[in-house]
């Protein structure tokens, strides 16, 4: 595996890239080779929660479902936090049951996120996708066992350079999410910021992939 894209909404079918494509229960595409599946907090439909969870549970039993998500908490939307938290917790318990990592969407709710992880005693890897906050928030997440993934905001915000450099080599991932740039561009910038080669970044990400997803290099 030359490149691993932790989180994208579009499968590009490149032979040298393993893409973890975000899927939603009601819009599932079985042709995508590797995916995560989850209920995004933006798209919680109260009367459909149990049906969505049943789909997620069935997919978690398939080998090419690598993770739960994206799921999480978002304080900047109108969906009540109590409902968001209930849906998130149910997905975390499924991830724990089936021993799958979790790709997390979190907006302005990092304290709640950490509290839920502790309350439910979640031991599977939890990965914050699209990280854009400061080094203090990153350290708090790392201290509580989370992994941090960089992509869109790393490309857009120069101030994230120091934050990215502060994250240990064994605790980060790279992604594209919704940007038009390919994962190679993210790897190049990450290598520049770390002061190492793209090949070395590839080795670091591959090691982290093998640790988190318990799989040999593809």
For the segment 105-150, what is each residue's pLDDT rounded down to a tens digit? 999 999 999 999 999 999 999 999 999 999 999 999 999 999 999 9
Q: Residue 105 annotated as binding?
A: yes
Against a cut of 0.75, is the pTM above it?
yes
Q: Is 196 within the bounds of a domain? A: yes
pLDDT value at position 215? 53
Range of the domain at 149: 3-213
> Which DSSP letter does residue 195 get?
T
Residue with tokens 């990400």: 205
Q: What is the pLDDT of residues 32-72, one digit of tens each?
A: 999 999 999 999 999 999 999 999 999 999 999 999 999 99
pLDDT value at position 123? 97
Q: Residue 29 annotated as binding?
A: no
Q: Is 108 within the bounds of a domain? A: yes
Q: Is 45 within the bounds of a domain? A: yes
* pLDDT above 80 (res 156): yes
Strand partners, 149: 173
Q: Is 89 within the bounds of a domain? A: yes
Alpha carbon distance 57, 154 (integer Å)? 33
Q: Is 94 within the bounds of a domain? A: yes
Q: Residue 169 annotated as binding?
A: no
Q: Residue 177 annotated as binding?
A: yes
CATH code of 14's domain = 3.20.20.140
pLDDT value at position 89? 98
Q: Is 218 within the bounds of a domain? A: no
Task: Please give the full DSSP string across 14-58, using - where no structure is assigned.
Answer: -TTEEEEEEE-GGG--TT-SSEEE---GGG--GGGHHHHHHHHHH
Domain count, the chain: 1
Q: Is 171 within the bounds of a domain? A: yes
pLDDT value at position 216? 37
């Amino acid at each position: 595996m030359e490149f691993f894209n932790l989180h994208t909404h579009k499968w590009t079918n490149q032979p040298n890239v393993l893409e973890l494509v975000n899927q939603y229960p009601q819009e599932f595409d079985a042709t995508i080779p590797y995916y995560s599946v989850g209920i995004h907090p933006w798209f919680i439909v109260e009367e459909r929660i149990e049906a969505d969870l049943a789909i997620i549970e069935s997919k978690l039993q398939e080998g090419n479902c690598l993770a739960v998500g994206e799921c999480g908490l978002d304080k900047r939307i109108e969906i009540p936090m109590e409902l968001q938290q209930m849906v998130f917790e149910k997905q975390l318990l499924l991830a724990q049951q089936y021993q799958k990592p979790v790709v997390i969407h979190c907006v302005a709710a990092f304290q709640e996120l950490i509290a839920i992880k502790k309350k439910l005693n979640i031991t599977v890897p939890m990965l914050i996708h699209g990280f854009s906050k400061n080094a203090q928030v990153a350290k708090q997440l790392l201290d509580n066992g989370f992994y941090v993934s960089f992509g869109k905001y790393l490309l857009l915000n120069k101030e994230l350079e120091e934050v990215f450099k502060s994250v240990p080599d064994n605790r980060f991932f790279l992604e594209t999410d919704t940007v038009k740039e390919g994962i190679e561009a993210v790897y190049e910038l990450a290598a520049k910021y770390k002061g190492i080669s793209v090949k070395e970044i590839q080795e670091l990400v591959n090691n982290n992939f093998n640790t988190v997803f318990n799989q040999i290099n593809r």
